[in-house]
Amino acid sequence: MTRVILTYADYAALPADGRRHEIDEGELSVTAAPSPGHQQVLVNLTVVIALHVKQSARGTVLVSPIDVILSDTTVVQPDLVYVASDRAASISARGIEGPPTLVVEILSPSTTQIDRQTKMQLYARYRVPWYWIVESQRREIEFYGLAGSVYRPRARAAGEELLRVEPFADLALSVSSLWT
């Protein structure tokens, strides 16, 4: 049996059914829409980062659903994406074409393994410099930086900690503010 390889054109033709569609090397994956709790954490994080980015005029912050087109056969929809000014040309009418500066995934029960393994490897393969994983259940964030071809842990924060991490070393991020 021949394996069907989906392309961006196939992906773009998928129905808008309220689920998240992504393709990794031509293979389709579908997950349910995020929960309200997941979306509240996303809104809180987006507000903090978007305000910081806007005040410092250093790029663009976008949230899912936004297509990040890493190749013709790899299209993902991270929860939050930051594109630094030096990568602004990658933003097109179709989405973000090429690796953004930062990708943030907020774990859900149905996506934990995908976000921690599959997507982490995928983002490293396509050279996304920074990857954050938000663990709502444990109320913590893990921060990773690309080192060669793999991500290395840079920091982990929980509770009342104020953290300064790349690509926003000048932003004091209050982790506890994300859960309220």
Q: Which of 138, 144, 134, 161 is nearest to 44 (CA)?
A: 134
- Domain boundaries, given as residue ranges, for the chain: 34-179
Confidence of residue 4 (pLDDT cuts 50, 70, 90): confident
Contacts of 129 (CB under 8 A, 6+ apart): 99, 101, 102, 145, 146, 166, 167
- Superfamily for 34-179? tt1808, chain A (3.90.1570.10)
Confidence of residue 19 (pLDDT cuts 50, 70, 90): confident
Is the overall model pTM greater than 0.85, yes or no? yes
Q: Most distant CA pair in the chain: distance in Å?
A: 54
